[in-house]
Structure 1
Amino acid sequence: MIKDMILFGKILYEQGLNHSHSGNISIRDGNEILIKRHGAMLGYLTKKDIVRINLNNDKKDKLASLEAKVHRAIYLKNSEIKAIAHGHTIYATVLSLHNKVIKPIDSEGRLYLPQIPVLDCKETIGSDEVAKKIPELISKYKCAIIKGHGAFAAGKNLEQASMYLSVIENASKILYLSKVYKQFSR
């Protein structure tokens, strides 16, 4: 599991889905969660950058990502979810500022994520509000974007969660560039 976290942290960083210290990933391991350490660089994780926290309480959260409570809430809502990827996706974040839902127009986007809900919250980073509202969306849509913040995606493993995060950004980029193209091709 640690090797997967190191690998997919690097992949998400190299794809530009996070900047140096942003984003986080986690894997559910029974009654525990392996999650990126707060302040660690996602693209350069080592074994010491991954911490174990409790699934049912926050007693070990001190070193964990600020989004630990959000990850925990998602896992507790849906036991089929085994991994979560959170990215500060540029195009998806831009689209989230102006849309309540993002509907991919490309074939792959529509296949995997026909619609991506946008959650509008007053507090966005690791907030109780996000932890309360996002689990239902993730269980229904596999992903959601926090308005002005970034995207969360979940799956049966970290590869699947990372793939959904990548699809979110790719579909958002295509949608954004398509709108720009239409404006300039008139």
Structure 2
Amino acid sequence: MALFLYISLKMWQEMAKYGRKLVEHGLVESNFGNISVRAGDRIVITRSGTALDEITGDNIVEVGIRDTSSLDMIASSEAVVHREIYRRTSVLAIIHAHCPYSVVESLLAGPGNVIVPVDSEGQYFLGDIPVVGGGIGSSELAKNLADSLSGHRGAVVFSHGTFATGRTLGEAYIVTTQLEHSCRVKYLYDLAVQK
């Protein structure tokens, strides 16, 4: 029991650390976005409406990967999406943010298309960035993201935001920052060449 409590404490502290970083760097507004970590056959995920820069042990909930439960009612509205990604990939952490340039680039590209980075880091680390469609917290979005993230480290939901994955929250955070950086560079580049 003591080991489980220690692991649970470390998980929410890591989630709090990256939640603060997301808000501080303008990658998400405080009460939007969500963070999760896989722990065996369980998911530790932020609760619905949680301010990501104020995560505590009271702001997370543990739900199953295979089955839904009554706790899904208080978990993030995107719990169904996180669950499907964990079911169909080997990732251990997911960050969903509402990065502004990524959202703009998704609007320009359209669902079912890709954002092609113009910066060398984006080309090397991300490749083409899938833009997926589906309603917030829907099974359609869950399927579309799981399909895309089985072959990519990150994707952008049309008009909604980024989903980034990793073996750790640190990796998922880096992918989030890479997605936003590449989308910002692309937006500014395209703006400059239009003049």
When normalised by structure 2's length, the TM-score is 0.90
Residue 5 of structure 1 is matched in structure 2 by 15
**Correspondence for 2:184 among 164, 173, 179:** 173
CA distance in 1, matches of 2:125, 2:131: 17
**Unaligned 5+ residue runs, structure 2?**
1-10
Residue 115 of structure 1 is matched in structure 2 by 128
Equivalent positions of 1:5-44 (< 5 A) are 5-44=15-54
For 1:21-71, what per-residue CA distance to the aligned partner results, in whole angstroms no more than 9, with x for missing partners? 100010000111010110110112111111111111110212100000000
Q: Is the partner of 2:118 in helix, strand or coil?
A: coil
For 1:96-140, what per-residue CA distance to the aligned partner results, in whole angstroms no more than 9, with x for missing partners? 11212111111221121011000123x2x1011101221010110
Equivalent positions of 1:125-136 (< 5 A) are 125-136=136-147
**Correspondence for 2:96 among 74, 86, 103:** 86
What residue identity is the alignment partner of 1:176? Y
CA distance in 2, matches of 1:73, 1:3: 24
Residue 103 of structure 1 is matched in structure 2 by 116
What residue identity is the alignment partner of 1:27? V
What residue identity is the alignment partner of 1:104? P
CA distance in 2, matches of 1:18, 1:55: 25
The alignment covers a number of residue pairs equal to 181
CA distance in 2, matches of 1:153, 1:22: 15
Q: Aligned Cα RMSD in Å?
A: 1.0
Report the identity percentage.
Answer: 39
**Unaligned 5+ residue runs, structure 1?**
none
**Correspondence for 2:76 among 58, 65, 68:** 65
Residue 87 of structure 2 is matched in structure 1 by 76
Aligned-residue offset at 1:183: 2.4
CA distance in 2, matches of 1:103, 1:113: 9
**Correspondence for 2:170 among 159, 170, 174:** 159
CA distance in 1, matches of 2:24, 2:76: 20
Aligned-residue offset at 1:2: 1.5
CA distance in 2, matches of 1:165, 1:58: 27
Residue 6 of structure 2 is matched in structure 1 by none
Q: Is the partner of 1:166 in helix, strand or coil?
A: helix
What residue identity is the alignment partner of 2:88? K
When normalised by structure 1's length, the TM-score is 0.94
**Correspondence for 1:137 among 136, 140, 148:** 148
Q: Is the partner of 1:52 in helix, strand or coil?
A: strand
For 1:142-182, what per-residue CA distance to the aligned partner results, in whole angstroms no more than 9, with x for missing partners? 11111111110111111101110110001000000111122
CA distance in 1, matches of 2:16, 2:150: 25
